[in-house]
Amino acid sequence: MTTPDPSREPEPTKPAGTATTPYKDRVYRSPAGVVGGVLVLAVIAWLGIDAVVVGEGRTPWLALATMLFLVPLVFAYTLRPAVFVNDDRLRIRNPLRTIVLPWGQVASLRSGFSNEVVDDSGTKYQLWALPVSVRARSKAARQEARAARAAARAGQGEAGRGRGAAGASGGVVGAADLGAGAAAAAGGPRRAETDQAMDELRELHERRQQEAGAQGEADVKWAYEIIAPAVAGAVLLGVLWGLG
């Protein structure tokens, strides 16, 4: 499940000739991942601080090393993932890397067991912030089936309303069913939220991939601010356990 929201970070200006000069990214995140990450970090902080305060011997040092190892990784895999999009490029913030792809460099956006973007060189990048949920897809399919049944009942009620003897009562039921069916149809096909987000990305890619402002080279950067403390924590843990 994802929730798009506007980013607060200022972005560069658009090329000359566009209607708007400053613009911001649209952001996709996983609310479930964020909530889960906050809860896990709270548990780690609670247990770790308690061990540091009341622990004896090597226990405080083991607690500190464990926190140094776990906190960056939990943050990286729950709170950090996000997908930033605007008219010119797609920026993917995965747990250990940040990938910037101008729309002109994007070959396709794929959905299967995971959501991926493929660049012109054939390199695949997973969209961690848009996880595929089989449960959400099943729920959307059930809603779509219910909407189809409501539309079918609405059609039968409309046909019955035109008949003579049951006109009054049948007409009331038919009108109610028709209203429900029309409302369901107006909402369009039901889709899981991550699938809707992928549809939006594909539509934007189709519109912008040939534009001059959406050209450039792909840029991939490692998140050393995550990797370095996690490695340091792992090394410290190894040393402490080795010392016995």
Q: List, for residues 46-104, the tens digit of each pLDDT value.
A: 999 999 999 888 899 999 999 999 999 999 999 999 999 999 999 999 999 999 999 99
Mean pLDDT of the chain: 79
pLDDT number for residue 236:
94
Predicted confidence band of residue 161 (pLDDT cuts 50, 70, 90): low
pLDDT number for residue 13:
42
Instruction: Using the CB atoms, write b or e for 26-50: b if 16+ within 10 Å.
Output: bbbbbeebbeebeebbeebeeebee
- Rounded to a whole number of angstroms, the CA Rg of the chain reads 26
What are the contacts of 235-242 at 24+ separation with CB within 8 A? 236/61, 236/64, 236/65, 236/68, 236/69, 237/62, 237/65, 237/66, 237/69, 240/58, 240/61, 240/62, 240/65
Q: Starting from the edge strand earliest in sequence, which strands make up the sheet with 26-29, in order?
A: 3-6, 26-29, 82-85, 89-93, 97-102, 219-222
Q: What is the pairing mode between strands 219-222 and 115-119?
A: unpaired
Q: Is the distance from CB of 164 to CB of 155 less than 8 angstroms?
A: no
Secondary structure in 3-state letters for 17-82: CCCCCECCCEEEECHHHHHHHHHHHHHHHHHHHHHHHHCCCCHHHHHHHHHHHHHHHHHHHHHCCE
What SS3 state is found at 146?
Answer: helix
Q: Is the distance from CB of 154 to CB of 181 less than 8 angstroms?
A: yes
Is pLDDT at 2 greater than 60 in this prediction?
Answer: no
Q: What is the pTM of this model?
A: 0.70
The span from the CA of 78 to the CA of 93, in Å, is 11
Q: Which token pair is 189? A: 């096909």
Looking at per-residue confidence, does 238 or 22 come out higher?
A: 238
Q: List, for residues 201-240, the tens digit of each pLDDT value.
A: 999 999 999 999 999 999 999 999 999 999 999 999 999 9
CB atoms within 10 A of CB 195: 19
pLDDT number for residue 22:
44
Element (H, E) at 10: none
The span from the CA of 206 to the CA of 214, in Å, is 11
Predicted confidence band of residue 160 (pLDDT cuts 50, 70, 90): low
Instruction: Using the CB atoms, write b or e for 141-154: b if 16+ within 10 Å.
Output: eeebeebeebbebb
The span from the CA of 213 to the CA of 21, in Å, is 13
Is pLDDT at 125 greater than 80 in this prediction?
Answer: yes
Predicted confidence band of residue 182 (pLDDT cuts 50, 70, 90): very low
Q: Amino acid letter at 157?
A: G
pLDDT number for residue 243:
84
